[in-house]
Structures are given as structure tokens and as C-alpha cells.
Amino acid sequence: MKQIVGVLLLFALCSCVEVGFRNPQPENGRILDEIPGEMIAFYTQQNKDSSNDDGGFKLTDLGEGFDNTGTLSDETVLKLWKGKYFLNQKEDSLWYVVMIVPVKNGAYETYKMDGGNENTVKTLKGITHVEEIYSNDGELEVVIINPDKSEFKKIVKSGAFEKIDIF
């Protein structure tokens, strides 16, 4: 859970180019109503200050997207697909996705796509239609994709999601 929060903060603070989706992914994933208890339990075990008012980080620090109960907002969709979780966060009209993979000892690895990585964009272009949005000064701002079910499966298998961290 700590990493989920960290990853969303990275979205806001990261200078890398984000990859946005038109819809929450994967299309055929099972939508979960809340963050699984084992993720919250692992997070609170790792971060004892998660529910204290002593200045420590709290899930509610992210705003209405999260709370300490694992409840998700309308702008946050968590899906389960093939043993992996996909955290979709809506910003404006696009969805930004973090892949969360359970690993040994109850930990989780987190992955995201970097649209500023030329190899990632090349891989995506080989799988699905890619729209690149540039700023007025010619800087790449966002890469937008809208894969179907089979294309998304290829994207996951391709390694386009890059490991961020383990928590």
C-alpha cells in the first residue's frame, strides 16, 4: 500500500512522460471495490504512522482517492487480472496505470510505463496505435494509447511496464 501511495505521488512529481489510457485497464479485469485487506495490512505493518496524527504520512494525504479503509474514489479504479493488480488513476480525461504484482513474503512489486523512454514508445507502436501529445515548445507531454484486450496482454508481456520498486 505504501508503494501505491508513493507511485501516485510519483505521477504528480515525476518529470518523465506519462502514458495515458482512454479507459481503465485491463478492459477485461475484475473491478475491485476497495484495496485488498492484505495490501492495507502490509502497508500499515511497514508504516506504523499511517493512522497517526503526528505528522506521519497517511493514506488520506492523497485526498479523496484513498482512505485508511481502502475505499476507492470514482477517479480511482483497481482491477485484478491474471494475478496482477492494476491501479488506474483518472486525471482529466485520461487514466494512468500502475501494475502491482504480488511477490514472496507478502510484498508487492510496482511497475509503470515511461512515455519518455524511446524503447517503450517503439514497443507500444508495434502493438497498438500511439498518439503523442507535444507542448507548444515541442516537448513531449503525454503518450496516449487505447489498446484492446489482446493488445493490452501483449503490452504487459512486452516489458513496457518498468519496475519502479518493491514494497
Read off the pLDDT of residues 36-80 as tens digits, 9 standing for 90 and up: 877 776 656 655 444 444 443 344 433 444 555 667 888 889 999
Return the pLDDT at 50. Answer: 43
Q: Domain total for the chain?
A: 1
Return the pLDDT at 56. Answer: 38
The three-class DSSP label of residue 10 is helix
Return the pLDDT at 99. Answer: 93
Cβ–Cβ under 8 Å, residues 160 and 124: yes
- Tell me the percentage of the chain whose pLDDT exceeds 90: 54
Return the pLDDT at 2. Answer: 44
The three-class DSSP label of residue 41 is helix
- E strand or H helix at 124: helix 118-125
How far is it, in rounded angstroms, from Cα 95 to Cα 22? 6
Angle at 162 between CA 80 and CA 10, to 5 degrees: 85
Q: Look at 52 and 167; give whichever has higher pLDDT.
A: 167
Q: What average pLDDT is seen over the chain?
A: 80
Has residue 7 got a pLDDT over 60?
Answer: no
Cβ–Cβ under 8 Å, residues 99 and 161: yes
Signed CA dihedral, 17, 19, 20, 24: sign only: negative
Q: Which domain holds residue 89?
A: 2-166
